Every structure is written in structure tokens, then in C-alpha cells.
Amino acid sequence: MSQPQFKEMRRAYGFDDVAIVPGGHHTLNPELVEIGFSLGKLEFQLPFIAAAMDGVTDVKMAVEFSKFGGLAVLNTEGVQTRYEDPDPILAEIAAAPKDQVTALMQKVYSAPIQPNLIGERIRQIKAAGGVAAISATPMNTKKFAAIAKDAGVDVFVVQATVTSARHVSRSEKGLIFDELVQNMGDVPVIVGNTVTFSATKELMETGIAAVLIGVGPGAACTSREVLGIGVPQVTATIDAAAARDTYYRETGRYVPIITDGGVSNGGAMCKSFAAGADAVMLGSILAATEEAPGRGHHWGMATPHGELPRGTRVKVSINTTLRQTLFGPTSRTDGRENLVGALRTAMGTCGARTIRDFQKTEMVIAPAIKTEGKSYQIAQG
């Protein structure tokens, strides 16, 4: 008689569960490390991407972030494309009482998307000297991709809570990434989000330029509470990096992975790269800057869903600037400013000259890493 088959589980790890092991064979001065990020033919000085969230990225933020060397993504299904002037709407969302804000956003986001505004926002970003990147859900990708390409978009992002290379729907012909990549020509296509080896590798095989990694870790996301899905970010990044490296060995084509969600300070950001990321997508940490459109608030793309909200508005307060967040100087000890300095210092301490070198750095399971010897800090807040 055959034995019954039982489901087996493995342990998964988030940022607070692990630590980077410093001091290999040598160390480097921080100014000697290289932190650039390549996406197709595009080169960025910083491996940071501003999230496609209405509280984080608008035209102004996209332009400013580009000037600092990063990439900011505009949400084509948010207020920027539903309203000619989104500022009063953003102010209303920021001012709404906590117990009324989700219902308000469901109403605000029920206004139809105006396709002409997609091209207009892209042209506004490019006219001001920025790199124009936009995001769409798989449902709207085929409609919006042609509009974006005609407007001169530089990067196109297809983003959903979970994306796979093989999606089943009632549509006679769903979204086929191979065709999308071909139709977009030289425009890099980023797709997400995934958390597994197999899904990441299958997406890479369609020809896309990069993959977003992460389901549910964002400060404003409640998918883990509402749907019960997700994988802690360190494990998700390690598994996706294994897929990237396997695919590279098989084909010779390197497809970057971007850790998206939960990167709330410099320590989490550095751990993302040590786990295998080529870049990180930032949300709440940027929403706290003066340049962000959310007026000190942050919410996810799924927050205003008409039937099942999977996010909430988070108050982050305006307490810094974009320049200080990226480059300092800072006197804060919470790791939320001078992200570039933190990355350079961590890489130098580990003897990593490049991000690819840093991905090889040893990591350990260390659940006490944030509390060991910190009794005075914890007691005194």
C-alpha cells in the first residue's frame, strides 16, 4: 500500500532574518565601488527605481529622479492618467480621514483612464529631460503599449501582484510577452511580480529585459493579509537570482532582477543586493520626500481596487528631500537617508567592487541581528 503524500514546507527569510557577512579577503574604499545599473541599452548611475505608485511618482518626480541617475516609473492606471489636473485629487486623498480613505480612493479611481493623458505624461517627462518609464497591468498592456511607444516611452513595465509567462483567462488571445517584446522594439520591457525560480526563468525566456521580484512586502500592500500569498524578500530574491544565473549560463543573455517591496532602509537595500538583486524598487522611503506627490502619504496600486482592496494608505510624513534620501548628508540613524553612501560602504566593507561581486557575498541567518546588544536603544526608543 502506497504511503500518503504530504505537503512539505521550507523555511523562508525576510530582511530581518539575515545579515551580510563583512570582511572577505580585502576591503575597498567606498568611492572605488561601481553601482551602475544597465537595462537594455540604457545605463543608469544608480540601481534604484522609484515605484509606479501615485504617492511616489508623478511627472516632476520622474524628472528629478532621472537627473539624480535613477529611473522612476509612472502608473498609467492611476490619477495621473484619469485626471487632467491630479493635484487636487492627491490633496483630497492625503486629507481624508483614515476610516474613509479606501472608499474615497475606490471612487476616485473609478473615473475612466484617458488614453491621451498617457502620451501627454510621457512627453512631459521627456521634454523636461527625464527618462520616461510607465507601468500598466497585464489587462491593459496591449492597449497602452502602442500609445506609449508612439509617445516615445523609454521603458515599459508590466506589473501585477503576481505575473506568470502563461496566464489563463477568458480572452481568446491573452497577453503574450514574446509578441509584446517584439512590438516594443528597442524599448526595454520589465515584467513582474514573481517570487519563484520557475516563474522568473519562464518570463526571462520570453525576451523581456528585467523581472520585478516581490509579492506583498511593501509598506502599503495588504496582499499577504487579504490573500495569504507571498514569499519573504530575501528568499524570493535568492530564488530569482538563481533563475537569472541559470538562464545566463544557458543562453549568454543576462536579465537583471529588481527587488520590489519592503526596502524601507539602507540595511534592507544592501541585503537585497547581497541576496542577488541588480536593482531595487523603492516606494515608502521616497514617499517621505518633499518631491513626492503623495503629501506624506503612500498607497499601492491595489489599494483602490473596486471589489477587493489589497492595500492601505500609509502615513510616512514629509521628513526629508530626494537628494538627502539618495546622497545625504544625514544625521539620522534609521538608515532612511544616504542610500548611495550605505550601498557603497557595505560593498567596500565586503570587498565588492561591483554589484555582481556583492551578489556573491556570504549571508547568514541571524534573527537577532537587529536586537543583539541593542538593549539601551530598544529601551530608549
The dihedral built from the CA positions of residue 286, 289, 295 and 297, taken in this order, carries a sign that is: positive
Helix (H/G/I), strand (E/B), else coil: 42: strand
* Structural domain includes residue 174: yes
Q: What percent of the chain has pLDDT over 90?
A: 76
d(CA 252, CA 204): 12
The verdict on pTM exceeding 0.85 is yes
Domain of residue 180: give its range: 42-319
Amino acid letter for position 127: A
pLDDT in tens, 105-137: 889 999 999 999 999 999 999 999 999 999 999
Q: pLDDT-based confidence at 237, cuts 50/70/90?
A: very high
* Structural domain includes residue 104: yes
* Structural domain includes residue 370: no
For residue 166, pLDDT beyond 60: no
Strands 71-75 and 48-50: parallel
d(CA 250, CA 244): 10
d(CA 256, CA 218): 20
Q: What is the CATH number of the domain that holds 271?
A: 3.20.20.70
* Structural domain includes residue 15: no
* Structural domain includes residue 18: no
Which residues neighbour 94 within 8 Å (Cβ) at sequence distance 6 or greater?
A: 294, 295, 296, 297
pLDDT in tens, 133-149: 999 999 899 999 999 99
d(CA 60, CA 243): 36
| pLDDT mean over 319-337 | 95
For residue 185, pLDDT beyond 90: yes
* Structural domain includes residue 348: no
Structurally, the chain folds into a number of domains equal to 1
DSSP letter for 34, please: B
* Structural domain includes residue 73: yes
* Structural domain includes residue 209: yes
Cα angle for residues 42, 157, 106 (degrees, 5° grid): 145
